[in-house]
Amino acid sequence: MKAHDKKSQDSLTPQDALDYLKEGNNRFINNLRANRNLLQMVNDTSEGQWPFAIILSCIDSRTATELIFDQGLGDVFSVRVAGNVVNEDVLGSMEYAVKYAGSKLIVVLGHTKCGAVTSACNRVKDGNITALMHKIKPAIDKENTVKEERNGKNAEFVEKVANLNVFHAIEEIRERSDIISALEKEGRILIVGGIYDVETGIVDFFED
């Protein structure tokens, strides 16, 4: 499998880009990785890059997006921050990806058993971590089905908050970026969320 070039990137629809990730994750969970010559891909991308997607995910060491989606060099932009939260730098990176680098898809990817979400549920305050936890708090506030033990010891509560945190990030992207919102309304890009299961390797996309 070769690296994407401008022609192949231009030919993709946003749905094609999403399907590429789905197919890649299916290969990953079945241990059927695509045959790639990585050194050749280094050469192929030495003069430029044409990633078809940008993926915002957590820094968790188990969630390396190029691996879980079986992608190669130059295929995706990977933005990683604890709790897959949105800030100005993340938004700027996404705007660059879709407006100037030609990416067709934005993915916000949370994961099960997230340490950042668990810490936020436990109201951890420590150094710069405090500001990070504050960005996850809206998802905690939106979760209203769990009435008791609303903390990091309650696995059900943590997973529900992790899901809502993905949706909150997508809301933030749409509300805070006129560039991205306009491109989505024009049908030039898709924005989707998903959760990676650290036990199975499966990504469940939230397409609705």
Give all domains of the chain, ordered by start, each with its CATH number.
6-112+173-206 (3.40.1050.10)
Neighbours of 163 (CB within 10 A): 20
Q: What is the pTM of this model?
A: 0.95
Dihedral sign, Cα of residue 137, residue 143, residue 144, residue 149? negative
Please indicate if the annotation marks 111 as binding a ligand: yes
Question: Could you give the CA distance from residue 170 to residue 182 in angstroms, rounded to a whole number?
Answer: 14
Please indicate if the annotation marks 60 as binding a ligand: yes
Q: Which DSSP helix (H) or strand (E) runs through 196?
A: strand 190-196
pLDDT at 208 over 70: no
Please indicate if the annotation marks 121 as binding a ligand: no
pLDDT per residue as tens digits for the range 26-60? 999 999 988 888 888 888 888 888 999 999 999 99
Average pLDDT of the chain to the nearest whole number: 95
Residue 115 · residue 60 · CB < 8 Å: yes
Residue type, 128: N
Classify residue 75 by its DSSP letter. Answer: S
Residue 69 · residue 19 · CB < 8 Å: no
pLDDT per residue as tens digits for the range 9-25? 888 999 999 999 999 99
